[in-house]
Structure 1
Protein backbone atom coordinates (compact mmCIF):
# COMPACT_ATOMS: atom_id res chain seq x y z
CA UNK A 1 0.00 0.00 0.00
CA UNK A 2 1.33 3.33 -0.99
CA UNK A 3 4.49 1.79 -2.40
CA UNK A 4 4.54 4.03 -5.36
CA UNK A 5 4.03 7.19 -3.37
CA UNK A 6 6.51 6.34 -0.56
CA UNK A 7 4.11 6.51 2.37
CA UNK A 8 5.82 3.64 4.21
CA UNK A 9 9.10 5.52 4.43
CA UNK A 10 7.45 8.57 5.99
CA UNK A 11 5.68 6.40 8.56
CA UNK A 12 8.88 4.68 9.65
CA UNK A 13 10.60 8.06 10.09
CA UNK A 14 7.66 9.34 12.11
CA UNK A 15 7.72 6.31 14.41
CA UNK A 16 11.49 6.69 14.93
CA UNK A 17 11.07 10.37 15.79
CA UNK A 18 8.33 9.66 18.32
CA UNK A 19 10.70 7.53 20.37
CA UNK A 20 13.23 10.37 20.76
CA UNK A 21 12.81 12.69 23.77
CA UNK A 22 11.04 15.87 22.84
CA UNK A 23 12.75 19.07 24.02
CA UNK A 24 10.42 21.47 25.72
CA UNK A 25 10.80 25.22 26.06
CA UNK A 26 10.44 25.05 29.83
CA UNK A 27 13.27 22.63 30.31
CA UNK A 28 16.81 23.83 30.71
CA UNK A 29 19.68 22.04 29.03
CA UNK A 30 21.05 21.14 32.47
CA UNK A 31 19.68 18.63 34.91
CA UNK A 32 19.14 19.36 38.55
CA UNK A 33 17.32 21.93 40.58
CA UNK A 34 18.04 25.66 40.15
CA UNK A 35 19.79 25.61 43.53
CA UNK A 36 22.16 22.85 42.48
CA UNK A 37 24.89 25.38 41.82
CA UNK A 38 25.42 24.92 38.10
CA UNK A 39 25.48 28.61 37.31
CA UNK A 40 27.51 31.47 38.69
CA UNK A 41 26.67 32.66 42.17
CA UNK A 42 24.87 35.90 42.52
CA UNK A 43 27.56 38.48 42.94
CA UNK A 44 27.00 42.00 44.01
CA UNK A 45 27.89 43.93 47.04
CA UNK A 46 28.69 42.80 50.55
CA UNK A 47 25.57 41.78 52.41
CA UNK A 48 27.22 42.02 55.86
CA UNK A 49 25.81 38.65 56.85
CA UNK A 50 28.18 36.48 58.78
CA UNK A 51 28.14 33.15 60.51
CA UNK A 52 28.35 33.01 64.26
CA UNK A 53 26.96 30.76 66.97
CA UNK A 54 23.44 32.07 66.49
CA UNK A 55 23.39 31.59 62.72
CA UNK A 56 23.46 34.41 60.19
CA UNK A 57 24.10 37.65 62.05
CA UNK A 58 25.07 41.26 61.53
CA UNK A 59 27.01 43.48 63.91
CA UNK A 60 26.37 47.17 64.38
CA UNK A 61 29.34 49.05 65.82
CA UNK A 62 27.93 52.20 67.38
CA UNK A 63 29.51 55.35 68.76
CA UNK A 64 27.28 57.27 71.17
CA UNK A 65 27.61 60.62 72.92
CA UNK A 66 27.31 61.41 76.65
CA UNK A 67 23.51 61.46 76.40
CA UNK A 68 23.40 57.98 74.89
CA UNK A 69 22.47 59.24 71.42
CA UNK A 70 24.07 57.63 68.38
CA UNK A 71 26.83 59.64 66.69
CA UNK A 72 28.29 57.24 64.14
CA UNK A 73 28.01 53.56 63.25
CA UNK A 74 29.43 50.82 61.05
CA UNK A 75 27.75 47.60 59.90
CA UNK A 76 29.77 44.39 59.51
CA UNK A 77 29.21 40.65 59.33
CA UNK A 78 28.54 38.87 62.61
CA UNK A 79 31.92 37.16 62.93
CA UNK A 80 33.89 40.44 62.76
CA UNK A 81 35.42 41.34 66.13
CA UNK A 82 34.28 44.54 67.82
CA UNK A 83 37.72 46.12 68.06
CA UNK A 84 38.33 46.12 64.29
CA UNK A 85 35.98 49.08 63.71
CA UNK A 86 36.82 51.21 66.77
CA UNK A 87 39.63 53.34 65.33
CA UNK A 88 37.64 54.03 62.17
CA UNK A 89 34.65 55.21 64.20
CA UNK A 90 36.75 57.36 66.52
CA UNK A 91 38.87 58.88 63.74
CA UNK A 92 36.89 62.05 63.08
CA UNK A 93 35.35 62.66 66.50
CA UNK A 94 36.59 64.52 69.56
CA UNK A 95 35.97 63.38 73.13
CA UNK A 96 37.20 63.95 76.67
CA UNK A 97 36.81 60.27 77.55
CA UNK A 98 36.08 57.11 75.60
CA UNK A 99 34.20 54.40 77.47
CA UNK A 100 34.29 50.84 76.16
CA UNK A 101 34.17 47.29 77.45
CA UNK A 102 37.03 44.79 77.73
CA UNK A 103 36.70 43.76 74.08
CA UNK A 104 38.30 47.08 73.12
CA UNK A 105 41.32 46.71 75.42
CA UNK A 106 43.94 46.62 72.67
CA UNK A 107 47.12 48.70 72.68
CA UNK A 108 46.39 50.26 69.28
CA UNK A 109 42.95 51.50 70.38
CA UNK A 110 44.21 52.82 73.72
CA UNK A 111 47.09 54.63 71.99
CA UNK A 112 44.67 56.12 69.44
CA UNK A 113 42.42 57.40 72.24
CA UNK A 114 45.38 58.94 74.07
CA UNK A 115 46.55 60.46 70.78
CA UNK A 116 43.12 62.12 70.45
CA UNK A 117 43.72 63.79 73.81
CA UNK A 118 41.03 61.72 75.54
CA UNK A 119 41.05 59.38 78.50
CA UNK A 120 40.62 55.67 77.79
CA UNK A 121 38.08 54.29 80.25
CA UNK A 122 38.45 50.65 79.26
CA UNK A 123 38.87 47.93 81.86
CA UNK A 124 41.95 45.79 81.15
CA UNK A 125 41.62 42.16 80.16
CA UNK A 126 42.68 39.63 82.74
CA UNK A 127 45.41 38.20 80.57
CA UNK A 128 47.11 41.58 80.12
CA UNK A 129 50.65 41.42 81.44
CA UNK A 130 50.63 45.02 82.58
CA UNK A 131 47.25 45.95 84.08
CA UNK A 132 46.13 49.53 83.42
CA UNK A 133 44.19 51.74 85.77
CA UNK A 134 40.82 53.13 84.68
CA UNK A 135 38.14 55.33 86.22
CA UNK A 136 35.64 52.84 87.68
CA UNK A 137 33.11 55.56 88.57
CA UNK A 138 33.11 56.98 85.03
CA UNK A 139 32.91 53.45 83.60
CA UNK A 140 29.46 53.06 85.18
CA UNK A 141 28.18 55.49 82.54
CA UNK A 142 28.85 52.91 79.83
CA UNK A 143 25.30 51.64 80.27
CA UNK A 144 24.17 54.55 78.08
CA UNK A 145 25.32 52.76 74.95
CA UNK A 146 23.35 49.69 76.03
CA UNK A 147 20.27 51.86 76.58
CA UNK A 148 20.80 53.36 73.13
CA UNK A 149 20.75 49.89 71.57
CA UNK A 150 17.64 49.08 73.59
CA UNK A 151 15.84 52.11 72.14
CA UNK A 152 17.02 51.23 68.63
CA UNK A 153 15.62 47.72 69.00
CA UNK A 154 12.13 49.20 69.32
CA UNK A 155 12.31 49.39 65.53
CA UNK A 156 11.35 45.89 64.48
CA UNK A 157 13.22 46.07 61.19
CA UNK A 158 16.35 47.04 63.15
CA UNK A 159 16.04 44.18 65.64
CA UNK A 160 15.31 41.42 63.13
CA UNK A 161 17.04 42.73 59.98
CA UNK A 162 14.52 42.21 57.20
CA UNK A 163 16.81 43.86 54.64
CA UNK A 164 19.06 41.62 52.60
CA UNK A 165 21.53 44.19 51.30
CA UNK A 166 24.01 45.99 53.50
CA UNK A 167 23.22 49.39 51.97
CA UNK A 168 19.52 49.03 52.74
CA UNK A 169 20.22 47.94 56.30
CA UNK A 170 22.65 50.84 56.82
CA UNK A 171 19.94 53.21 55.60
CA UNK A 172 17.51 51.74 58.11
CA UNK A 173 20.03 52.07 60.95
CA UNK A 174 20.64 55.70 59.96
CA UNK A 175 16.89 56.31 59.93
CA UNK A 176 16.45 54.76 63.38
CA UNK A 177 19.39 56.78 64.75
CA UNK A 178 17.99 60.01 63.32
CA UNK A 179 14.61 59.20 64.88
CA UNK A 180 16.25 59.06 68.31
CA UNK A 181 17.74 62.51 67.68
CA UNK A 182 14.41 63.89 66.45
CA UNK A 183 12.65 62.81 69.63
CA UNK A 184 14.62 65.50 71.46
CA UNK A 185 12.96 68.20 69.35
CA UNK A 186 9.52 66.83 68.55
CA UNK A 187 6.77 66.54 71.13
CA UNK A 188 5.01 63.25 70.48
CA UNK A 189 2.60 63.45 73.43
Structure 2
Protein backbone atom coordinates (compact mmCIF):
# COMPACT_ATOMS: atom_id res chain seq x y z
CA UNK A 1 0.00 0.00 0.00
CA UNK A 2 2.48 2.62 1.06
CA UNK A 3 6.15 3.02 1.79
CA UNK A 4 7.37 3.79 5.29
CA UNK A 5 10.68 3.41 7.12
CA UNK A 6 10.00 -0.27 7.56
CA UNK A 7 9.06 -0.84 3.92
CA UNK A 8 5.63 -1.31 2.40
CA UNK A 9 2.96 -1.21 5.08
CA UNK A 10 -0.77 -0.79 5.55
CA UNK A 11 -3.06 0.06 8.45
CA UNK A 12 -6.40 -1.48 9.32
CA UNK A 13 -8.81 0.91 11.07
CA UNK A 14 -11.67 -0.78 12.90
CA UNK A 15 -14.78 0.22 14.79
CA UNK A 16 -15.92 -2.59 17.09
CA UNK A 17 -19.03 -2.99 19.23
CA UNK A 18 -19.15 -3.62 23.00
CA UNK A 19 -18.39 -7.31 22.47
CA UNK A 20 -15.32 -6.74 20.29
CA UNK A 21 -17.03 -7.63 17.01
CA UNK A 22 -16.14 -5.45 14.00
CA UNK A 23 -18.72 -2.97 12.74
CA UNK A 24 -16.69 -0.93 10.24
CA UNK A 25 -13.31 -1.68 8.64
CA UNK A 26 -11.08 0.64 6.62
CA UNK A 27 -7.64 0.17 5.08
CA UNK A 28 -5.05 2.89 4.45
CA UNK A 29 -1.40 3.16 3.56
CA UNK A 30 1.05 3.02 6.46
CA UNK A 31 2.12 6.65 6.19
CA UNK A 32 -1.45 8.06 6.31
CA UNK A 33 -2.47 9.62 9.65
CA UNK A 34 -5.07 7.74 11.68
CA UNK A 35 -7.29 10.78 12.17
CA UNK A 36 -8.08 10.92 8.43
CA UNK A 37 -10.21 7.77 8.79
CA UNK A 38 -11.83 8.71 12.08
CA UNK A 39 -14.78 10.57 10.59
CA UNK A 40 -15.61 7.67 8.27
CA UNK A 41 -15.54 5.23 11.19
CA UNK A 42 -17.82 7.43 13.28
CA UNK A 43 -20.65 6.85 10.80
CA UNK A 44 -21.19 3.51 12.57
CA UNK A 45 -21.87 5.17 15.94
CA UNK A 46 -25.35 5.61 17.31
CA UNK A 47 -26.87 8.02 19.77
CA UNK A 48 -25.50 7.60 23.29
CA UNK A 49 -22.51 5.49 22.21
CA UNK A 50 -19.02 6.03 23.60
CA UNK A 51 -16.12 6.35 21.18
CA UNK A 52 -12.90 4.93 22.63
CA UNK A 53 -9.90 5.72 20.46
CA UNK A 54 -6.17 6.14 20.91
CA UNK A 55 -4.20 9.38 20.62
CA UNK A 56 -3.85 9.02 16.86
CA UNK A 57 -7.54 9.86 16.49
CA UNK A 58 -7.39 12.98 18.69
CA UNK A 59 -8.61 15.83 16.49
CA UNK A 60 -11.21 18.55 16.80
CA UNK A 61 -13.03 17.27 13.71
CA UNK A 62 -13.49 13.77 15.16
CA UNK A 63 -14.67 15.13 18.50
CA UNK A 64 -17.13 17.47 16.76
CA UNK A 65 -18.44 14.66 14.53
CA UNK A 66 -18.98 12.39 17.54
CA UNK A 67 -20.82 15.18 19.34
CA UNK A 68 -22.95 15.76 16.24
CA UNK A 69 -23.95 12.07 16.29
CA UNK A 70 -24.74 12.47 20.04
CA UNK A 71 -21.91 10.16 21.09
CA UNK A 72 -19.19 10.84 23.64
CA UNK A 73 -15.55 10.74 22.51
CA UNK A 74 -13.24 9.39 25.20
CA UNK A 75 -9.90 9.99 23.49
CA UNK A 76 -6.72 10.78 25.41
CA UNK A 77 -5.34 14.19 24.39
CA UNK A 78 -2.11 14.40 22.43
CA UNK A 79 0.86 15.91 24.22
CA UNK A 80 0.75 19.03 22.02
CA UNK A 81 -2.99 19.72 22.52
CA UNK A 82 -3.73 23.18 23.88
CA UNK A 83 -7.25 22.67 25.27
CA UNK A 84 -8.46 20.05 27.71
CA UNK A 85 -11.30 17.58 27.36
CA UNK A 86 -13.12 15.23 29.69
CA UNK A 87 -11.27 11.92 29.69
CA UNK A 88 -11.91 8.82 31.77
CA UNK A 89 -8.87 6.57 32.16
CA UNK A 90 -11.06 3.89 33.77
CA UNK A 91 -13.38 3.82 30.77
CA UNK A 92 -10.43 3.92 28.35
CA UNK A 93 -9.36 0.47 29.58
CA UNK A 94 -12.28 -1.00 27.63
CA UNK A 95 -10.42 -0.10 24.43
CA UNK A 96 -8.69 -3.45 24.79
CA UNK A 97 -11.68 -4.89 22.89
CA UNK A 98 -10.22 -3.35 19.74
CA UNK A 99 -6.79 -4.79 20.52
CA UNK A 100 -8.36 -8.21 21.09
CA UNK A 101 -10.07 -7.97 17.70
CA UNK A 102 -6.73 -7.28 16.01
CA UNK A 103 -5.19 -10.19 17.90
CA UNK A 104 -7.98 -12.50 16.68
CA UNK A 105 -7.55 -11.57 13.02
CA UNK A 106 -3.79 -12.13 13.28
CA UNK A 107 -4.50 -15.81 13.98
CA UNK A 108 -5.21 -16.07 10.26
CA UNK A 109 -1.91 -16.44 8.47
CA UNK A 110 -2.87 -14.56 5.32
CA UNK A 111 -3.88 -11.51 7.32
CA UNK A 112 -0.88 -11.55 9.65
CA UNK A 113 1.68 -11.91 6.87
CA UNK A 114 -0.14 -9.71 4.32
CA UNK A 115 0.11 -12.11 1.38
CA UNK A 116 -2.35 -10.13 -0.74
CA UNK A 117 -0.58 -7.30 -2.52
CA UNK A 118 -3.72 -5.66 -3.88
CA UNK A 119 -5.36 -3.46 -1.19
CA UNK A 120 -8.88 -4.43 -2.29
CA UNK A 121 -8.04 -8.14 -1.98
CA UNK A 122 -6.46 -7.64 1.44
CA UNK A 123 -9.45 -5.68 2.74
CA UNK A 124 -11.78 -8.38 1.39
CA UNK A 125 -9.77 -11.02 3.28
CA UNK A 126 -9.96 -8.95 6.47
CA UNK A 127 -13.73 -8.58 6.02
CA UNK A 128 -14.06 -12.33 5.47
CA UNK A 129 -12.22 -12.99 8.72
CA UNK A 130 -14.39 -10.35 10.43
CA UNK A 131 -17.50 -12.15 9.23
CA UNK A 132 -16.15 -15.36 10.71
CA UNK A 133 -15.57 -13.60 14.04
CA UNK A 134 -19.20 -12.50 14.07
Q: Give the alignment's TM-score, normalised by structure 2.
A: 0.94
Runs of 4+ deviating beyond 4 Å:
none
Of stretches 98-107 and 123-132 in structure 1, the one that deviates more from structure 2 is 123-132
Matched position secondary structure for 2:81: coil
Q: Which has the larger radius of gyration?
A: 1
Matched, 1:67 2:19: yes
Give the drift of 1:92: 4.2
Question: Which structure has the higher relative contact order (CA within 8 Å, separation 6+)?
Answer: 2
5+ unaligned residues in a row in structure 2: which ranges?
A: none
Give deviations 1:70-92, integer Å, cap 9, x for gaps: 11111111111111011012124
Output the TM-score relative to the length of structure 1: 0.68
User: CA shift at 1:93, angstroms?
Assistant: 3.2
1:55-109 CA distance string (max 9 Å, x none): 1011111111111111111111111111101101212431510000111110000
Bigger Cα displacement from structure 2, 93-102 vs 108-117: 93-102
Q: Match for residue 92 of structure 2?
A: 139
5+ residue gaps, structure 1: 1-48, 182-189
Give, in angstroms, the shift of residue 143 of structure 1.
0.8
SS in 2 for 1:177: helix
Is residue 58 of structure 1 aligned with residue 14 of structure 2?
no
Task: Give the number of aligned pairs.
Answer: 133
Which residue number in structure 2 is paired with residue 168 of structure 1? 121
